[in-house]
Structure 1
């Protein structure tokens, strides 16, 4: 459809008709395949508790680039050095509903952000004595599935002026039947970090070009039908 910042995108073409704003709220993928309701302008709900973080633009790139400061696993910050997701060879951190899983760049400035995050996740799961599952050609954090295990961590992305927390139920995907295992929904990024669609479930996300910002607030998105 084209809702980025390109001059020929639907968002830019609609212009003042939508007052520079659009929003969506992705219902959990597990509840079915009802169409996503895309809202514009005054049709966007005015929820309380909305957080706001500015986006910037990068030359020759039409994505919404966010200023990511740090990441926490179960409220424990990884304490990335200032500028980790800016400069160097990394494009930065963008939000994209067209990418299924979140990507964390391994070529971030000063430190390998993907390795730092996966090591924190492994430390969490290893503390429960779970058995790691190694998948050929796959660097995801995966473990043999203990059907009684429910201590999955939350992941919080600390943006400029806002904290975006991915609920623990959306952090992993369970695979297999007779040999079940689960993997954390974070993949290795090559030159860019992306907040993907899986981590946008049950979150009202508002793109507001009037203030050059992304806004978000938790919501039970399956009820977004009015």
Structure 2
């Protein structure tokens, strides 16, 4: 076990994780920045060099698209700055991210890869005794080896947190189910989370974070040994994002995703490590009882200069919980609710037909998208952008983030898909834009940015 801890820590040293503490007039400030690495990047531990870019894109669509919704949804810095910068490594896993961190203290301190999920309400990892667990490369967390581990107890006088927890044998239990059939069950617990420090031979810790100790879990999507669980960023009081409010994040986290194929580093940033450059727009986040997704209000869509004029309520949440528009970097591509997708499809067909592009059948090229066309000379100058007309803001999506280019097959495809239940802004359409979520002010800020430069302070 000691050898495992040592190897994980040496690994973290090699990727330059930074941690600095300093006192300011306002007290201790802390900012956290997790490095983002695309799953198919050579820096990824599950990198397959024999896959083409098109095969990697298809893999993200076919194997990870159903991991972004939960069943509880009724349908899911530099030295010298006066901040603390915690920079554990994150890996873009399929359509999700993972962070490497440690849980526990003493002999129970073990490192884990956990997927980051903006649609989850609880951080969890697999724990001993594992009644029914999926295989993972990291050892299962052993609560008995960590002296700082606490099971959250309950009684009639001291009930479990409201919502998703139940008191069984004087301990709080949780159960999370996912749309694809994956699930996790276990006990609500607290322990110390550790981050490697570059100025010391020892990790720095955040004590007493609530998480789920899973004794029964299953992932339908093949995991290849990763992840060991999930770090939650959802709108729920036990999520990682909400708990970090008490540790200097100011309730804010942010990311900027480079275009696919980029080899540049980018980061998931918290608190004072967030820098917004250029014109920033804001739109309100709509909270919903019992739901931890980030809903914003979408009123209409434009393709190029043509505003489509969707009827009011097309993208609104319905009384039964269906509908709405969520921002979710866990979805590989955006999804438009089916009636809206059909109208956008009609407009795009007319647009490209007018410019003499030849439409082709995606299935004949092994593509899972719905609309594809053949290249023609100087096609880049003819490509349309798209605009999402939000409440109080206009979000422009450049054509490079709107279409999937398959160079070796001589085609390009509209990189959105239909969905019956709701509309989702996925990772492909979020590239080269900084998104900053404020869970205290319930506000989403965004601005165009060259995410190739995100590694700069």
The reply to whether TM is greater than 0.5 is: yes
1:109 matched to which residue of 2? none
Determine whether 1:134 maps to 2:361.
yes
1:115 to 342, 355, 358: 342
2:151 matched to which residue of 1? none
SS of residue paired to 2:360: coil
Determine whether 1:38 maps to 2:246.
no
Q: CA deviation at 1:118?
A: 1.2
1:28-62 Cα deviation digits (max 9, x unpaired): 22322x44311111221143411000011233321
Pair 1:224–1:87, CA change in 2 (3 A): closer
> Which deviates more from structure 2 when the two are superposed, residues 153-162 or residues 117-126?
117-126
> Which deviates more from structure 2 when the two are superposed, residues 148-157 or residues 34-43?
34-43
1:70 matched to which residue of 2? 300
2:384 matched to which residue of 1? 153
**Tell me, which stretches of 5 or more residues in structure 1 are unaligned?**
107-111
Structure 2 Cα separation of the partners of residues 196 and 186 of structure 1: 9
Determine whether 1:221 maps to 2:448.
no
Pair 1:91–1:145, CA change in 2 (3 A): same
Q: CA deviation at 1:219?
A: 0.6
Written as runs of structure 1 = structure 2, the 5 A alignment for 1:88-103 is: 88=318, 90-103=322-335
1:116-158 Cα deviation digits (max 9, x unpaired): 1111111111111111112349562211222531111101001
1:203 matched to which residue of 2? 433
Contact (CA 8 Å) 2:328, 2:427: kept in 1 or not?
yes
Q: CA deviation at 1:202?
A: 0.7
SS of residue paired to 2:284: strand
Q: CA deviation at 1:86?
A: 1.3
Pair 1:61–1:52, CA change in 2 (3 A): same
Q: CA deviation at 1:221?
A: 1.0
Pair 1:224–1:176, CA change in 2 (3 A): closer
Report the RMSD for the aligned CA atoms in angstroms.
1.8
2:312 to 82, 90, 106: 82
> Which deviates more from structure 2 when the two are superposed, residues 77-86 or residues 131-140?
131-140
Structure 2 Cα separation of the partners of residues 139 and 15 of structure 1: 40
1:43-94 Cα deviation digits (max 9, x unpaired): 2114341100001123332101111000000121100111111144742100
1:175 to 403, 406, 418: 406
Pair 1:183–1:6, CA change in 2 (3 A): same
> Which deviates more from structure 2 when the two are superposed, residues 139-148 or residues 182-191?
139-148
Determine whether 1:20 maps to 2:251.
yes
Structure 2 Cα separation of the partners of residues 201 and 127 of structure 1: 28
Q: CA deviation at 1:176?
A: 5.7
Q: Which has the higher contact order (CA 8 A, sep 6+)?
A: 1
Structure 1 Cα separation of the partners of residues 368 and 420 of structure 2: 14
TM-score, length basis structure 1: 0.90
1:185 matched to which residue of 2? 415
TM-score, length basis structure 2: 0.46
Contact (CA 8 Å) 1:152, 1:171: kept in 2 or not?
no
Contact (CA 8 Å) 2:278, 2:448: kept in 1 or not?
no
1:81-114 Cα deviation digits (max 9, x unpaired): 11111144742100001111010011xxxxx111
2:442 to 199, 205, 212: 212
Contact (CA 8 Å) 1:139, 1:188: kept in 2 or not?
no
The number of equivalent residue pairs is 219
